[in-house]
C-alpha cells in the first residue's frame, strides 16, 4: 500500500483529494496538512511514501518545502507560471498536475507513480534500460487519450484480471475470461510487459510449443 500525505491549505480540497486517492487501488491516505510547518511535522511522524503538495500554502511556498522533503512528491496546484513548474522540477517533483483536474487525470498520475515504484522500489542495481523504463512508466499515462488502437477501459480490464489471478495467465486465458480476441489480449499484455507493469515468462507444457504467461508485479 502506498501511504500518501495530502498537503493543501483548503481542508475541503484536501478532503476531495483524499477521496480521489482512496479510489485508486494500492493507495491509502495516512494524513493531511494545511501548512508547510504542519506538513514537516506530519512527514516526520508518518513517514509517507508519497506527498501530494500544493504550491500556495499560508506560511510559505510549497516549492520551498519541496526542496527540503526527502519523500516522493507530486505537485497539485493552481500555479501555472513557468517559474513554479521549473522550481518544482528542480526541487524533485515527480509530476505536476494543474488544478482543477479530473479524477481520471489524477488517477493516471497515481497509476504512473505506482508503476514507477514497482520498478525502483527495491534496493538493487539498475542498468540503463531499467532507468529508461522507470522514467517512461512514470509519465506514460499523462496523455489525454490512449494510443491509437487501444482502449483505456480494455487496458484496465486486462490489468485487473492479472491482479486478481492466483497464478500466471496466458494471452489465450485472458482473452477467454474477458471475451476478447486472443490477438487483442496479446496486444495489451505486450504493452504492459514493455512498461514493466507485468512480468512475462515462458510456460512449457507437456506437448507443443511453449507459450508466454503473464503475472502482475507485486
Q: What is the pLDDT of residues 72-130, one digit of tens each?
A: 999 999 999 999 999 999 999 999 999 888 888 898 899 899 989 988 877 888 888 88
Which helix (H) or strand (E) segment is 41 a member of?
helix 36-46
**Rounded to two decimals, what is the model's pTM?**
0.66
Residue 185 in this model has a pLDDT that exceeds 70? yes
Same fold, 2-141 and 145-216: no
Residue 180 CB neighbour total at 10 angstroms: 16
127-146: pLDDT as tens digits: 888 888 888 888 876 654 45
- Which fold is adopted by the domain 2-141? Rossmann fold (3.40.50)
d(CA 63, CA 147): 33
Class of domain 145-216: mainly alpha
Domain boundaries, the chain: 2-141, 145-216
CA-to-CA separations, 39 to 45, 137, 176, in angstroms, rounded: 10, 28, 48
Amino acid at each position: 500500500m502506498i501511504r500518501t500525505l495530502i498537503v493543501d491549505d483548503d481542508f475541503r480540497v484536501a478532503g476531495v483529494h483524499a477521496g480521489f486517492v482512496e479510489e485508486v487501488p494500492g493507495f491509502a491516505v495516512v494524513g493531511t496538512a494545511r501548512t508547510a510547518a504542519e506538513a514537516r511535522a506530519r512527514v516526520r511522524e508518518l513517514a509517507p511514501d508519497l506527498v501530494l503538495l500544493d504550491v500556495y500554502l499560508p506560511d510559505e511556498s510549497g516549492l520551498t518545502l519541496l526542496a527540503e522533503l526527502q519523500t516522493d512528491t507530486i505537485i497539485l496546484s493552481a500555479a501555472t507560471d513557468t517559474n513554479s513548474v521549473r522550481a518544482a522540477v528542480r526541487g524533485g517533483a515527480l509530476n505536476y498536475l494543474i488544478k482543477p483536474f479530473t479524477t481520471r487525470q489524477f488517477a493516471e498520475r497515481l497509476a504512473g507513480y505506482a508503476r514507477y515504484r514497482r520498478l525502483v522500489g527495491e534496493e538493487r542495481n539498475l542498468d540503463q534500460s531499467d532507468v529508461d523504463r522507470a522514467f517512461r512508466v512514470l509519465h506514460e499515462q499523462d496523455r489525454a487519450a490512449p494510443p491509437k488502437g487501444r482502449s483505456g477501459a480494455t487496458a484496465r480490464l486486462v490489468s485487473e484480471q492479472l491482479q486478481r489471478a492466483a497464478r500466471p495467465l496466458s494471452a489465450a486465458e485472458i482473452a477467454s475470461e474477458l471475451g476478447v480476441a486472443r490477438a487483442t489480449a496479446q496486444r495489451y499484455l505486450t504493452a504492459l510487459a514493455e512498461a514493466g507493469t507485468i512480468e512475462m515468462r515462458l510456460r512449457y507444457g507437456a506437448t507443443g510449443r511453449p507459450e508466454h504467461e503473464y503475472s502482475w508485479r507485486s
